[in-house]
Amino acid sequence: MKFRAVMNDGINIKEFLNVISTFSRMQKNLIINVQPGKLLLQIESEAYDGQYLWCEIDATLRDGFFSEYLMDGIDTEHNQIYMTCIAASFLRALSYVRNNSVEYIKLKLIKTHMPCLAVEMSTTITNEQDVLTPKIQHAIPVTVVPRSEWNQYEIPLEVEYDLSIAMPTGKSLRGLLDKKKNLAPTVTLYATLNDELSLVVETEVVTVASHYRNLKCVPAHKPGPDADANPTNLSEACCRVDTKKLAALFETINFYDVIMTANIRHEQALNIRFDMRQHAFVNYILPATNFE
């Protein structure tokens, strides 16, 4: 098995740090799935209740997120690598770039006395006499997941949704959900083909609704070869989800330039997708809930 990836674009490096930071606040363990054409980062999904959070980074473009990307999986038939690590350890290894610029970050799977993900970065320090380019190196212990356990980390890539609607700013939603989570345990999101998004919480005493208008709403793109067939006949879709879980996501995200979209499977699931630059995105799926 081999894995080596290099990032040398400053904004991509910061975005990668933000993804790891977001995930480390959501869950203790981070799963890294290395594939020939992409790198997936995901938290240990609460599969028993349908909650998933993952980031997918396209690795096929040399002018994309990675300037270099090489890998060999466990064998030719199963050309992937799954490994797990402590998310906070990964975040500490990257922490230098939070307030400092670096020329590159290199990730490499190595084996000393145990498997580790090596994180190397180079920076430039200038004093009155010399220009120094020290290297900063960390080795994060990882557990390589055997092939027999890969199915534990499968994510739902082919979910069909009914409506897709553009989202308002993260800052707006963060403040709104922070207030709503103290009113009721659930919040219902309504999207309509009239380009309106509503967030509604209900208690025994009061119903509080917040409305956003002029947001583009379209029938959701369906995965697979029949993507253009049988579009939804719904003009409105809604999903009732856990208020605190949705609020927790917007409390932790901190991306530079992102387009947010909500995909709703009527009364079944909510998907929030964050499209970042250079063919990378974060997906968050919350199942519908019925508790009062």
Question: Does residue 94 lie in a domain region?
Answer: yes
Question: Does residue 292 lie in a domain region?
Answer: no
Of 99, 125, 153, at which residue does a domain stop? 153
Same domain? For 147 and 167 the reply is no
pLDDT in tens, the chain (292 residues): 899 999 998 888 999 999 999 999 888 899 999 999 999 999 876 545 678 899 999 998 777 889 999 999 988 888 999 999 999 999 999 999 988 888 999 999 998 889 999 999 988 766 666 656 678 899 999 999 999 999 888 888 778 999 999 999 888 898 899 988 889 999 999 999 999 999 999 988 889 999 999 999 999 876 655 555 556 678 999 999 999 999 988 888 877 778 999 999 999 999 999 998 768 999 999 999 875 5
Same domain? For 108 and 9 the reply is yes
Domain total in the chain: 2
Tell me, what CATH number does 228's domain have? 3.70.10.10
Of 105, 131, 153, at which residue does a domain stop? 153
Question: Does residue 113 lie in a domain region?
Answer: yes
Return all residues near 289 (Cβ < 8 A) that are at least 6 apart. Answer: 186, 240, 241, 242
Question: Does residue 238 lie in a domain region?
Answer: yes
Count other Cβ atoms within 10 Å, centred on residue 225.
Answer: 7
Same domain? For 105 and 30 the reply is yes
In the DSSP assignment, the letter for residue 38 is E
Amino acid present at 121 = M
Same domain? For 149 and 167 the reply is no
Structural domain that includes position 54: 2-153
Question: Rounded mean pLDDT of the chain?
Answer: 88
Same domain? For 168 and 260 the reply is yes
Same domain? For 44 and 146 the reply is yes
Helix (H, G, I), strand (E, B) or coil at 101: coil
φ, ψ of residue 173 to 5 degrees: the values are -70, -35
In the DSSP assignment, the letter for residue 46 is B
Question: Does residue 83 lie in a domain region?
Answer: yes
Q: Is the pTM of this model over 0.75?
A: yes
Distance CA 121, CA 107 (A): 9
Of 119, 153, 187, at which residue does a domain stop? 153
Residue 204 is predicted with a pLDDT of: 87
Same domain? For 9 and 53 the reply is yes
User: Could you tell me if 248 and 154 are in contact, meaning their C-beta atoms sit under 8 angstroms apart?
Assistant: no
Pairing of β 2-7 and β 104-111: antiparallel
Residue 46 is predicted with a pLDDT of: 55
φ, ψ of residue 87 to 5 degrees: the values are -60, -40
Same domain? For 175 and 252 the reply is yes
Distance CA 161, CA 48 (A): 20
R_g (Cα) of the chain, nearest Å: 21
